[in-house]
Structure 1
C-alpha cells in the first residue's frame, strides 16, 4: 500500500499536519505555481504585463518565507523524537526526489547537457528549495533543539556579512535563520497558535501587511534578505494568523489537499510549465495570457494526476520517495 505525504510523516514520527498549516501551505504553493507560470515565460524571452509583475511582487514577502518557516515548524516534533531518525527520514524523502527531479527538470527544460556539470545539480530554477531544506535539516539535527534560536541568530548575522543578493550565501543563511526560528517555536506550537489565533492581532497586523506587500509591488520587490527581515516576519505572522482563523471557520478542503501534497505539487509543476512553454509555440500560441493560463492549468492538473497515481502505482511513487524507504 502506497503512502501519502501525511501518512509518511506520521509513520516516521514527523509532526501531524493540522488544518491551518495545510491551508497556509496550500495557499503558498498555489502562489508559487502562479509565480513560475509568469516568471519562466519572462525568462524565455516573453513579455509579461506590468500588472502581473506587480502582482507577483506583492506576494513575494509571503510565498517562500512562509513555506520555509512552516518547514521548520513541522520539523520540531520529529527532532524531539531523535535527531538521527529525523535526519535519515529527511534525506530519504528529500534527497531522492531532488536527484530524480533534477534529471526530469533538465530534460523538460531542454538542458540535459547541464547534468554533466556540477552547476546542473545545484537546484537550478526551482529545486533550490529542496536543497536548502536538506541543508537546514542537517543543521537542525546537529544543533540541539533548545539552541535553535541561538543558531538562528548566528545564521542571521552571517547572512548580513554575505554579498547582497547571493542565492547560496545571503539567501541560504537568511532562510536558515527563518527555518530555525520555526523549529524553535515548534516546541511551543500550541502557545504560538493561541497567540496567533487572536483576531485582534490579525486586524492589528493587517495595515502593516498590506503596506509591506504594496511597497514590494510598487517600489522595490522585497528580497529574501536579512535587510528585509522585519517586514517579512510581519507578513509571515499575518499569513499564519489568517490560516489559523480561517481554519476555525472554513475548512477550505482544496487548499488543505494542496497543502498536504505540497511537495508533490512543487516537484511536478515546473517541468510541466517548461514543456508547455516549449510546446505551445508549435501550435501558434506565444502570447502571455493563453500561455500563462495553460501553464497554471496543466501544472496543477499534472500535479493532481501524479498525486492520484502515487496511491496506485509504486513506480510513480518512486519518483517522489525512495523505493522501500
Structure 2
C-alpha cells in the first residue's frame, strides 16, 4: 500500500525497480508532508486560531493532488500484494491497515475529546470520521481487489468512475469512495507498464504540464475546488508532474528525508493529527494567540514525533504493535 512501513517496488523489470521505488517514495513522502501542513490549518483552526491567508492558500493549491496521488500510488503496489495467497493477503491487510485504523481512531478519540458514549459519534469515528478515513477506504479497496483479481483493473476503474459520476456531488461514501476507488485500480493497471511510465517521466516534454499544474493550483485556492471525478484529468496531470520532479531528485541529498518519510508513511500519517491536536490545545490553554507559532510548533512536533515512532518501531516490538497487529504473519507453504 502507499502508506507503508517499508518500501516496495512496482512490478516490472528488475533493472528499473530501484529507480521507480525511489521516486515513488519521494512523492509519497512529499504528499505526507502536504497532508501534515494541511491539517496544521484545519485542525488548529478548531481552537479559535485563524490561519494567514497566504498559508491557507498555499495549502489549498494542493487539494486536487494530495489524496488522489496517495491513492494512485497505493494502487500501483496492488499487483505485488495480489501475488500472495488469499489467507496471507487478507490477514496482512487486517494487521497492517485495519488494526492501525481502529487503534489510532481510538487514540484520536481520546486526544480530540470524542464522546465514546454517544452511538452517533462512535459510528462516525469508526467509519472514517477522522483524518484516518484514508485507511478505511484503502482497506475496502484491498478487500474488493482479491475477488476481482481476474478482472482487468481498467474495467474496474471505469465502472467505479462511472458510478462516482452519477453519485451525489461531494458525498463521502458514494462519490468520493468510488472516485478514489477508480484511481486505485487505475494505478494497478498503470503499474503493469513500468518502462512506459519511466519513459514518460524522463521525457523533456513533461514540463509542458507546468503551467497547467500552476493554473490548477491557483484555481483551487481561488475557487475552493475539491478533488472528485470532474477533476480527474487535473489530478492525473499533477501526478505526472510531481512524479517527474521526484524522479529527477532521486540522486539528490535533499530528497533523502522524503524517501525516509515515504518508506514509513503510515507512521507519520496516523500519528500527526494527535501531535497537532496536542499543540493546539496546549497553545489555547497557555493563552497563545499567534496562529503562525502554533502551526509551526504543530508541524515540528508532528515530524519529530513521527520520527521517534518510526525509529522506535524498528527497535521495540511494543512500538511496532502501534502500527502492525501483534501476532505471527500467516504464510502459506511454497
Normalised TM-score (structure 1): 0.91
Within 1, Cα distance between the matches of 2:301 and 2:175?
34
* Number of the residue aligned with 2:100: 97
Equivalent residue in structure 1 for 2:221, among 217, 224, 237: 217
Question: Superposition RMSD on alpha carbons, in Å?
Answer: 2.1
Q: 1:198 to 1:149 in 2, by over 3 A?
A: same
Paired residues of 1:152 and 1:176 also in contact (CA < 8 A): yes
* Number of the residue aligned with 1:52: 55
Within 2, Cα distance between the matches of 1:43 and 1:158?
34
Paired residues of 1:277 and 1:295 also in contact (CA < 8 A): yes
* Number of the residue aligned with 2:148: 143
1:263-299 C-alpha deviation (Å, 9 max, x unpaired)? 0000111111111111112222132111101110111
Within 5 Å, give how 1:223-262 maps onto structure 2. Answer: 223-247=226-250, 252-262=255-265
Within 2, Cα distance between the matches of 1:114 and 1:159?
34
Within 1, Cα distance between the matches of 2:321 and 2:210?
43
Does 1:31 pair with 2:34? yes
Structure with higher helix content: 1
Within 2, Cα distance between the matches of 1:58 and 1:153?
27
Aligned residue-pair number: 315
Paired residues of 2:271 and 2:306 also in contact (CA < 8 A): yes
Cα displacement (A) at 1:114: 6.0
Cα displacement (A) at 1:161: 1.2
Does 1:193 pair with 2:198? yes
- Runs of 5+ in structure 2 lacking a partner? 10-16, 330-334
* Number of the residue aligned with 2:5: 5
Does 1:206 pair with 2:207? no
* Number of the residue aligned with 2:13: none
* Number of the residue aligned with 1:296: 299
Q: 1:241 to 1:84 in 2, by over 3 A?
A: farther
User: For structure 1, which segment, 109-118 or 304-313, has the greater mean C-alpha deviation from structure 2 after superposition?
Assistant: 109-118
Cα displacement (A) at 1:88: 2.7
* Number of the residue aligned with 1:182: 187
- Runs of 5+ in structure 1 lacking a partner? none
User: For structure 1, which segment, 110-119 or 22-31, has the greater mean C-alpha deviation from structure 2 after superposition?
Assistant: 110-119
Cα displacement (A) at 1:307: 0.8
Cα displacement (A) at 1:120: 2.2
Cα displacement (A) at 1:241: 1.8
Paired residues of 2:153 and 2:188 also in contact (CA < 8 A): yes
Does 1:160 pair with 2:161? no
Q: 1:62 to 1:265 in 2, by over 3 A?
A: same
User: For structure 1, which segment, 126-135 or 232-241, has the greater mean C-alpha deviation from structure 2 after superposition?
Assistant: 232-241
1:188-238 C-alpha deviation (Å, 9 max, x unpaired)? 22321222221222x1211111111111122x2331211111111111121
Within 1, Cα distance between the matches of 2:217 and 2:134?
22
* Number of the residue aligned with 1:106: 109
User: For structure 1, which segment, 107-116 or 237-246, has the greater mean C-alpha deviation from structure 2 after superposition?
Assistant: 107-116
Equivalent residue in structure 1 for 2:130, among 122, 125, 128: 125
Paired residues of 2:29 and 2:262 also in contact (CA < 8 A): yes
* 3-state SS in 1 of match to 2:168: coil
Q: 1:23 to 1:49 in 2, by over 3 A?
A: same
